[in-house]
Amino acid sequence: MTTSVVFRTASEMEARVVLALLDSQGIQAVRTGGLAPGVWPMAISAEGEFGIAVREEEAEAALRVIESHRVEQGQAVVRIADEFEDLQERLGYRFRDRALLEHALTHRSLAAEDQSGGVVDNESLEFLGDAVLGLVVADMLYRQFPESREGQKSKVKAAVVSTASLARQAERLCLGEALLLGRGEEKTGGRRKQTLLADTYEALIAAVYLDGGLEAVSAWLRRELQADIDIAANAAVTGLDYKSALQERIQARGVSLPEYRLVDQQGPDHRKMFVVEVWVEGTAVGRAEGRSKKEAEQAAAKQALEATAPSRSR
């Protein structure tokens, strides 16, 4: 079968969009370059581009389909479909280099399933984002609470940068919907996993930093995290302990004390994640993850407090 390359791009996401587009029109795309069969029918050129080919007799039809979905901006032809437009709106930040955003959303499961070697996961970005997050939050706390003791600021910082907190930020942005996952991770509910969401949020922080610099990422994180910092700071001042608060509420109802159960451990020893459930009277009322058992228990207790809060009368 003679094939013709009808599209090239450096973007893995854009290549996937084109493949889906051609398939929807009944045009079968095939990989070029003689690579071994992979997850997606595409190949990487020496220039780092993805190539998509179709049967020679369908080339003209494929090109017409592709051209009909391009977006004109002046004289320039831009990306066929910006899959991240809604996400950028939710972020309140527009990337100059959208490849950085795509990189931040690429989970290692997709890279592992890609046999071309052209897909790079976001773990390095996650590492950088963790450092940037720590710096920005420390700076915010230094400026907002100059008279507070180091221990108090450390408690607030730990609460704001915890896995549970970052996962909530990711959920608020609907980050799970935009993740680029492998098929295996997709099937096991990767879009809803707290650890995965938190890690992706850190990678996103790094992407904003690399795209716009420290000033841009600081401004963005201040908008993102100020409410969490205020809540955590208030908790530190009042001595709020979610486990103690839950215990007091349960005791007031005259039932047995809450029981915390470690139900799962994930990841290597140096990056272990703990999953804890809190049970009351034979019922699980909270479940959360954390980088330590203590963090997971506190997060589960907070969830249980919200679940067992008295209903408000109207």
Residue 264 pairs in a beta bridge with 275
Please give the Cα distance from 133 to 202 (Å, whole number). Answer: 7
Instruction: Name the active-site residue from 12, 114, 126, 130.
Output: 130
Active site residue 126: no
Please give the Cα distance from 244 to 294 (Å, whole number). Answer: 13
Q: Is 36 exposed, middle or buried (0-12, 13-18, 19+ CB in 10 A)?
A: exposed
- Of 173, 12, 178, nearest to 79 by C-alpha is 12
Please give the Cα distance from 176 to 164 (Å, whole number). Answer: 15
Instruction: Name the active-site residue from 202, 211, 224, 289.
Output: 202
Active site residue 130: yes
Please give the Cα distance from 134 to 154 (Å, whole number). Answer: 11
Catalytic residues: 130, 202
